[in-house]
Amino acid sequence: LMLRCLAPLYLLSTAADAYSLDAPRHFVAAVSARHARGTVASAAPAAAPPELASFRAWLSESGIASEAVEPAKLPGWGVCLVAGPDGVAQGDTLLSIPTALHLTPASVAAGPVGAAVARVVPSDDHSALLALGLLEQLSRGEANCSSWPYIELLPSGDEMVGMPLLWADEERAQLLSGSHLEGCVAQARQQLLEQWAAVEAVLPAHAEVFPRSVFNAAGYLWAHAVVLSRALPFGEELHLIPLLDLANHAAGSPHACSIGVSGEGGAVSEAWQVEGKEAAAVLTAGAAAAAGEQVFIDYGEAGWRSSWEMLYTYGFVPGSSVEEWIAAGGRPLFFDGVSPSDELLPQKRALLAALGASEGAADGQWLDLKPTADQCVAMAPLLRLANLSPGDASLEEGVRRLAEALAEWRADPTALWSALQRPVGAAVEAKVAEQVLSVCEEALAALPPADELAPRAKPDQGLPGDGTAEAERARCAARVMLGERSALEACVSVWEKVRAAAAA
């Protein structure tokens, strides 16, 4: 049972100006960086803040007595996870955090906050419940919150410099002009503030549960940013998991998150093994680490996450060079599918349904375009189907027969879809190329040119103004847009060649 070390992206446009959206500043502990590229060796610990000592004591009192890893504050990294004094060996169980210490949607829903908002917050909106749960813990204060040492370590809004969800509307619109991320974040903020307005309507009847010094629009956005960047899928829920959520990111990290049984060591492979027992989040070493060496996990970069999603979700763009930012780039695009006026629309919809596609698949396809050969043609099968007609004289003979069979409701879905994985005829390829190029060129035209973005993307050079939060946000935005340009330009290059070949 794997616990994926990544938080889901919520594509939740501009928040109402009436709200004050400065993030709360209740916390003093810094988590200044949560990313890396490759392997980073150990560093001499910085002076431990008192909050870190309290957190260690709380873990010990809660029965989390792992000597394999420990929280530490490293220069340039903030509070993170490092190997213990004896180091770790491959296969070691690094930590096991029982669910009793997790903040979970179910526990929030079962409490007074959950009961008060049950009419306006769906039980399956785990992010909203976790965000409200965080605010509830904060509102209790040190004297009445059993998990206060964990709450106290969470980053403030000012410390989450790279989280676009917390950027001011005007600054975000300027920095991300031309990027799809601008609309994505604006929509997210608007939806969260609309949800907050619904929550706020129930506050007067439960004043003792919702102190307004904590439960406000700014606090709700801050709490969602924490959940977005730190929560982990655990079974069927999202959980906030103390200690494990201190692990920073490194692409390709071998350390594995999974579900295990509290008090019984490592991970389990079958669901029945945790039935009737308390589950735990387990981190297992995939490689040895020396004492004091930072222990990373991969937030998803090595798999499918583009740089724009890393910034949206975690507040940073992986990499330290233009080449790396370009390689990590991606750009979501929508390609229209089968035309409503297509005489074969019913047959094409039925074919996609027979292949297991979702309802509405014939209408079009969202694709997170990346600068790779396979991704640049990933939209082609659907677009070829959209432009397929049995009367097209340029179709290859085998494809023409399949098109005729489709028109007569007797096509083999698998055979036809297999044929659409490659060029089927000059006329179809020309139409697909024009469509792809039109979508990509429109997106490219909205982005700043690369020679304007590259200087903005450079790391802090120690120049006046370089070390400010504003400069860091500008760097992050420029790196994302360099990646977007890279993906779009790669796709344009591929389909310009296709268009030229079709015209030859």
pLDDT tens column, 137-189: 999 999 999 999 999 999 999 999 999 999 999 999 999 999 999 999 999 99
Q: Does pLDDT of 386 surpass 80? A: yes
Using CA atoms, how far apart are residues 354 and 320, in angstroms rounded to an integer? 45
* DSSP E strand boundaries for 303-407: 331-336, 364-369
Burial pattern 95-108, b for ≥16 Cβ within 10 A else e, equals bbbbbebbbbbbbb
Best CA proximity match to 23, nearest among 171, 189, 159: 159
Whether residue 37 has pLDDT greater than 80: no
**CB 68, CB 243: distance < 8 Å:** no
> pLDDT higher for 453 or 44?
453
What confidence tier does 304 reach under pLDDT thresholds 50, 70, 90?
confident
Cα radius of gyration rounded to whole Å, the chain = 25
Residue 303: which residues within 8 A CB-CB, separation 6 or more? none
DSSP code string of 142-158: HHH-TTHHHHHHSPPTT
Strand ranges, E, within 358-449: 364-369
The pLDDT-based confidence of 35 (bands split at 50, 70, 90) is very low
How many other C-beta atoms lie within 10 A of the C-beta of residue 434?
14
Q: What is the pLDDT of residue 376?
A: 96
Q: How confident is the model at residue 264 (pLDDT cuts 50, 70, 90)?
A: low
Distance separating alpha carbons of residues 170 and 176, to the nearest angstrom: 10
Which residues have a Cβ under 8 Å from the Cβ of 101 and sit 6 or more positions away? 62, 64, 147, 241, 242
**Separation of alpha carbons 38 and 418, rounded Å:** 38
Mean confidence (pLDDT) of the chain? 87
Query: For residue 172, what are its two tokens?
Result: 């975000």
341-384 pLDDT, tens digit each: 999 999 999 999 999 999 899 999 999 999 999 999 999 999 99
Cα 237–chain centre separation? 16
Angstrom distances, CA of residue 351 to CA of 335, 340, 355, 367, 418: 19, 16, 6, 20, 12
Return the minimum-mean-pLDDT range out of 75-84, 260-269, 446-455, 493-502.
Answer: 260-269
Percent of all residues in the chain with a pLDDT value above 90, rounded to a whole number: 74
pLDDT of residue 4 exceeding 60: no
* Distance, CA of 28 to CA of 137 (rounded, Å): 16
23 and 158 Cβ atoms separated by less than 8 Å: yes
Look at 27-36, 210-219, 426-435, 492-501 and tell me which has the smallest mean pLDDT: 27-36
What gap in Å lies between CA 354 and CA 144, rounded to an integer? 57
Give the C-alpha separation, 17 to 423, whole Å. Answer: 51
Statement: residue 76 has pLDDT above 70: yes
Percent of the chain with pLDDT over 70: 85
Residue at token pair 């446009």: 13
Token pair of 440 as six digits: 């990509």
Q: What is the pLDDT of residues 426-480, one digit of tens each?
A: 999 999 999 999 999 999 999 999 999 999 998 876 655 567 999 999 999 999 9
Residues 6+ positions from 374 with CB-CB distance below 8 Å: none
Q: Provide the pLDDT confidence category of residue 261 given band limits of 50, 70 and 90.
A: low
Structure tokens at 260: 């295990």
* Tokens read off for 310: 């890393």
